Amino acid sequence: MDKEKFKNIIRKYRVCFYLDINDKFIKNLKLKGNVVDLGCGIAAHKEVILKTAQKYIGVDWESCKHDKSRIDVFANLNEDKLAFEDCSFDNALSLEVLEHLNNPPHILKEACRILKPGGNIIITTPFMWWIHEPPYDYFRYTKYGLEYLLKQNGFENIKIQPKTGFWFMWLLKLNYYLTQSAFKLPYLLLIISSIILLPLVYFNQLLGLFLDKIFGGYEKETAGYILMAQKKL
């Protein structure tokens, strides 16, 4: 295994419980009807969604660096009019995408246009999170900013919940710092240091979940938000 593949394993491992939050949330939604995934990436949730939904369509831009084979429709979410009729979908997803768009109102307007009246939009986005996928990392949103954007672009019945509390967020940041520092080591030293590092980052995430459960504090400091809203009838 080359160094970059090994580093990718560590990257996923250091946030495994954080990723589980999104996975469990989407699985529990049991979405029905037609679903469009705006900024689908590798369409990681496609199979889960299709267990209950009638149709899934993934949308992303042609310049993405990951595997494009699971993208159904190519579009620039910052500026393109999506190639769908008005009121075509029952649900729209945008998972860890909004922070990467330099014109977020555009995609919210488009999502509103292609959703049926009363249709749902589901958004996840980071709040206290490191810069990632540079230079395409533009914004961090408070719950109040998210609520404002959704209201301004045709949505109501907005529900926003934090994904973590302070302790889980803080320990994720520690994991990030430790692993990023280890990545600078020569490959052999990276492998050796990982014998200590991987159990530690795993334990940190368990500890963060435990401390958040005891102390709470979810509203003010969180790694990210989950948002659900409906298109106005």
* C-alpha Rg value of the chain to the nearest Å: 19
Three-class DSSP category at 199: helix
- Contacting residues for 213 by C-beta, under 8 A, at least 6 apart: none
What pLDDT does 218 receive? 75
User: What is the β-pairing status of strands 115-126 and 224-231?
Assistant: antiparallel
H/E stretch holding 112 reads: helix 104-114
92: β partners: 36, 121
Residue 184 phi, psi dihedral angles, 5° rounding: -80, -10
The DSSP symbol for 99 reads G
Do residues 224 and 112 make contact, with C-beta atoms less than 8 angstroms apart? Answer: no
Q: Is the preceding omega at residue 135 within 30 degrees of 0, hence cis? A: yes
CA–CA dist 225, 142 (Å, integer): 8
73 vs 63: CA distance, rounded Å:
13
Tokens of 117: 């009246």
pLDDT digits (tens, 9 = 90+) for 41-90: 999 999 999 999 999 999 999 877 777 889 999 999 999 999 999 999 99
Q: Which CATH superfamily is domain 31-164+219-231 in?
A: Vaccinia Virus protein VP39 (3.40.50.150)
Among 93, 94, 89, residue whose Cα is nearest residue 54 = 89
Mean pLDDT, all residues of the chain? 93
**pLDDT at residue 66 in the model:** 76
Would you kindly state where each structural domain of the chain is located, as residue ranges?
1-28+166-217, 31-164+219-231
Cα distances (Å, whole numbers) of residue 197 to 71, 143, 211: 35, 33, 21
- 137-173 pLDDT, tens per residue? 999 999 999 999 999 999 999 999 999 999 999 999 9
Helix residue ranges, H only, 115-225? 143-152, 166-183, 187-215
